[in-house]
Structure 1
Amino acid sequence: MTKLIVCLTGMPGAGKSTIADGLKLKGYDVINMGNAVRNEAKKRNIEATRSNLGKLMLELREKNGPGAIAELIKPEIESSSANVILIDGVRSNDEIKVLRKFGIVKLLAVHASTDRRFNFLQKRGRTDDPQTKEHFEERDNRELGVGISNSIALSDYAITNIDLTKEQLIENAYKIIQSWLK
């Protein structure tokens, strides 16, 4: 059976990782693109700060092409025996091109307001999460610069995460993915 590769895309803090964590509990394999960059930083002995991870992500794309981060997760995809793999944090159409080599790719975009995203990121607690509006806007601009708006615009389906509970967000995503399996 051909793998279904579901790419979660959306601006930082929209709810992609919430969906991924919830669907992992339902048996889906989850691969996080940001973790691929964090792992690369660890290999290079680079501290996982907001600034360092941002620079590394841009450096990898500059050196290895715009699909570079997707190339980093190839071994995880190849070793997965799951029929459905969720890729958390796809940021560009070039990454999607790389992922198409491994199965049928569907894009699920997650939208949330700027305030909701900022508030969530402040509470999340990752080392690279912005703690000021200035850092938040800087990160948004970096994401937009690598083409995330294109992957959002070209998504197969979009969920608006405005008034949803965590459970509703996960359930909506689950129903959408299940419909893609039919």
Structure 2
Amino acid sequence: MKVIGVTGLQGSGKSIFFDTAMEKGALVVSMGDIIREKAAERGEDTGTTARTLREEFGQYIVAELTVQKIKDLFEEDSNIKTVLIDGIRSPYEIELFKENFDDFISVSIYASPQTRFKRISLRGREDDTTNFDEFMVRENRELGFGIGDVVSTTDYLIENECSLEEFKEKVAEFIEKEMD
């Protein structure tokens, strides 16, 4: 089973990457979904759950739960060929995944801040902003979590300064190559 960790800053194209990979038969495990599941079990909001899980079990508990979820999925269905991980935020998480999965690679999706801000301004998600200063505050918060270190150390970098169709083609080629 190939496990691919995907990272990138807001608006870089991660959702398009995941959608295209799923069309090719890959499964996606979201670290954010794991926090949401735990929050529902505890009757808490996600922010509280993320904080208390880390306080109770250590900083990398979400990555550890992700490892277990992927192993459980493979146990349930040994025909699974490719699993993608969404939500990687630190270099340690990358190391943890490498230690647990022999066939693990990491991929970063890159687009310039200007391109990403333009995309975010147009996509209309509830937590998106159309104010560049607010965009940069969120950007700096993500970089403070260590995502910049992750982006700079991934095995592969896919640039997304192109049209949607061109990016989908790049992703499809990459996924097909990695799934073989």
Aligned residues of 1:16 and 1:89 also touching (Cα < 8 A) = no
Query: How many Å apart are 1:4 and its aligned residue?
Result: 1.0
Q: What RMSD in Å do the two structures reach over aligned CA positions? A: 2.6
Q: What is the match of residue 16 of structure 1? A: 14
Structure 2: how far apart are the matches of 1:126 and 1:62?
Answer: 30
4+ aligned runs moved over 6 Å, structure 1: none
What letter corresponds to residue 108 of structure 1 in structure 2?
Answer: V
Structure 2: how far apart are the matches of 1:45 and 1:131?
Answer: 32
Instruction: Give the counterpart of 2:94 among 77, 93, 96.
Output: 96
What letter corresponds to residue 120 of structure 1 in structure 2?
Answer: R
Give the TM-score of the pair, scaled to structure 1. Answer: 0.78
Q: What is the match of residue 67 of structure 1? A: 60
CA displacement 1:73-92 (0-9 Å, x = unmatched): 23431214311111123111
CA displacement 1:81-112 (0-9 Å, x = unmatched): 31111112311121122222134211111111
Q: What is the match of residue 30 of structure 1? A: 28
Higher mean Cα deviation, 30-39 or 18-27?
Answer: 30-39
How many residue pairs are counted as aligned between the two chains?
174
Query: How many Å apart are 1:66 and its aligned residue?
Result: 3.5
Percent of residue pairs identical = 33
What letter corresponds to residue 135 of structure 1 in structure 2?
Answer: E
**Structure number with larger C-alpha Rg:** 2
Give the TM-score of the pair, scaled to structure 2. Answer: 0.79
The answer to whether 1:77 aligns with 2:70 is: yes
Query: How many Å apart are 1:179 and its aligned residue?
Result: 3.0
Specify the SS of the correspondent of 1:91: coil
Structure 2: how far apart are the matches of 1:153 and 1:60?
Answer: 27
Gap regions ≥5 residues in structure 2: none
What letter corresponds to residue 112 of structure 2 in structure 1?
Answer: S
